[in-house]
Chain A
Amino acid sequence: MASLISGANAALTVENPGLDHVVVGMNWESIPSNGPRAEFVPFAVMCGADGRAVSNDHLVFFNQLLSSDAALAFVGDEDQEQIDVELSRVPTEISKIVFFVYVDPEVRGKGTFASVRNSHIRVSTATRKELVRFDLPAGKQESVTAMIFGELYRHRTDWKFRALGQGYTTGLTGVAKDYGISL
């Protein structure tokens, strides 16, 4: 198991020959509250060579459990969110898969990542053997409403994982604008 820092990458398929299926898990702890609280939504988007979403059928989240090519599948519940990636099924036009979490923009109080502790993303094999892990650094996140955790990307014929930890203050709207998601 390798632990990454922001910006670092790991060669998944080079170091694990024959790897064609990974499970990307995103976890976080939020400070419990008796009142209405911020709700965090994990999301994955498949991007083309231009770094933008190929289409809205290439998104995976709780209300779209499977990408159009069935390469990405959302498996999760309130406590554990994970996205299965069948690397061999990912179309060649996809150059990277970005994993992020946004704070649901609820009109009664959106919330921020300020209430989040110990968030991490990890990549495991289909048998749940952890390959790489990235613990997002704690910091001032009072205004952060979306966070890019990491990305899987192609490098020639191989797949790599890059740890990111990039916060957005513009929430899902900002991420959608950068990655070409049609809201």
Chain B
Amino acid sequence: MVNRQDPLRIDVPFMRRRVKQTPASSTAAVADTGQSQRVQTVTGHQQPQGLHLRAPSSSASPHALQPATVPSRSAPVSGLSLARNSPASSASSPSPELDAVHQGAKVEKNQAALLFPAPKIRDTYELNLNEQVLRLTALESAVGTLVVSGSTAVAWESVRHVVGAADVLGNTAGTPIMTAGNRALVGYEKQTALIPLRHIRELRRAIFINRGNSPMGVQIFNGASVAIPPPANGVQFVLLAHRIANLLELRAEPVPIAWTDQQIWQEFDFTMTHQAPVSNYRR
């Protein structure tokens, strides 16, 4: 399906639309032929052959190209929607920044709408094989600190794909990420792993590994908490904190107890990144 209503698609980040410039003279020349005259009455310009993603001309007849019902900006979205909701919104927006906010928020809302239902943190006491996942609200995902006790190692990945790791003994690997508050985006404070949620939008995901005999515990600002059982019966649970749109999802992922941290990184596709040395040569 091609959405011919909207000039710009931002909801498909891996696609880029290339607009072919049509010389004005060619349009005028085509308009002289009888065949294209019929087309022009509908679109105002020549229709190119095959698939095209060009925005409709401003001179186009609005009724000819409008669907029967145009979704309003605030209309509820059900199911998968790849279309911008309101072509008119960009025209009425006072600034490109605001328009970008509206579009970005709609993309986030669509992403959140596609998520399957998951318990909230107050709905469950423990994440285990039977109840593997919970999801925080937008507010819970953003206020205070996510405190993880009982973990022995952590690895993180930022939205810029900067990857690093640390353990409770102070060993580090990869690249640390500092926030504007001069705190690590993910790291240890004594025996406790912390994520300052003020900067949650910089985080893509983090995993917490537990080599001890005690369960891991997760606590958030409002005091709600959940436990992850310790290794047992050849299985250890890795806690995966994964941000989807503006929601933080917590998962207990079972892995073999014999796996090393490096094997767990590999399983979760964490490849440590390293800061490139900076040279002043030719600057």
Chain A residues proximal to chain B, CB less than 8 Å: 21, 33-39, 41, 56, 59, 61-66, 69-70, 73-75, 78, 84, 89, 104-108, 126-127, 172, 181-183
Give Cα A89–Cα B145 distance, bound, in whole angstroms.
34
Question: A70 CA to B77 CA in the complex, in Å?
Answer: 13
Once bound together, how far apart are the Cα atoms of A38 and B196, in whole Å? Answer: 12
B74 at the interface (CB under 8 A from A): yes
Pull 12 A–B residue pairs with CB atoms less than 8 Å apart, ordered by A: A34-B182, A35-B182, A39-B180, A39-B196, A59-B139, A63-B142, A64-B138, A65-B108, A70-B73, A89-B74, A105-B221, A106-B196
Which residue from A63, A78, A108 sits with its C-beta under 8 Å from B194?
A108
Known: A39-B180, A64-B138. A108 touches B222 (CB 8 A): no
Given A73-B102, A106-B196: 11 more A-B contacts, CB < 8 Å: A59-B139, A61-B142, A66-B109, A89-B74, A104-B196, A105-B143, A105-B221, A107-B144, A108-B194, A127-B94, A172-B143
B182 and A36 within 8 A (CB)? yes
Report B's interface with A, CB cutoff 8 A.
Answer: 73-74, 94-95, 97-98, 101-102, 104-106, 108-109, 137-145, 147, 180-183, 189, 194, 196-198, 200-201, 221-222, 246
With A59-B139, A73-B101, A84-B98 as known contacts, state yes or no: A104 contacts B73, CB within 8 Å: no
- A78 contacts which chain B residues (CB < 8 A)? 180
Q: Given A21, A105, A126, A182, which contacts B144 in the complex, CB threshold below 8 Å?
A: A105
- Of the candidates A37, A75, A106, A181, the one whose C-beta lies within 8 Å of that of B98 is A75
Contact of A37 among B95, B139, B182, B200 (CB under 8 A): B182
Contact partner, B198, options A35, A41, A74, A126, Cβ 8 Å: A41
Is there contact, CB below 8 Å, between B181 and A37? yes
Which of B106, B143, B198, B200 counts the most chain A CB atoms within 10 A? B143
Whether A75 pairs with B181 at a CB distance below 8 angstroms is no
- Give A38 to B198 CA distance when docked, in angstroms: 11
Contact, CB under 8 Å: B183 / A108: yes
